[in-house]
Amino acid sequence: MEQTAPEPARLDARHLACPLPVLKARKRLLAMAPGELLLVLATDPAALRDFPDFAQVAGHRLLEAGEIEPGLFRFLIERG
């Protein structure tokens, strides 16, 4: 029997200005176990720059980062 991966935790950071999306993601990730996934949705264009830097400095893996529709950004982070 094939085992499916658990759904990532979700964080809706839409309509929050920098640095709130990263700060909320940081707080959420601290409460998670290593290897767990967090999916973040954000509308702040600065998040495209902030999340890669945050993940690298904090020791997490940024698995996905991009604009999924105009003005809406998606980030998938693996807790380090």
Catalytic residue among 9, 14, 16, 18: 18
CA–CA gap between residue 50 and residue 25 (Å, rounded): 11
Distance of CA 77 to the CA centre of its chain: 5
Is residue 55 among the annotated active site residues?
no
Beta bridge partners of 78: 37, 61
Q: Residue with structure tokens 């999924």?
A: 68
State the catalytic residues: 18
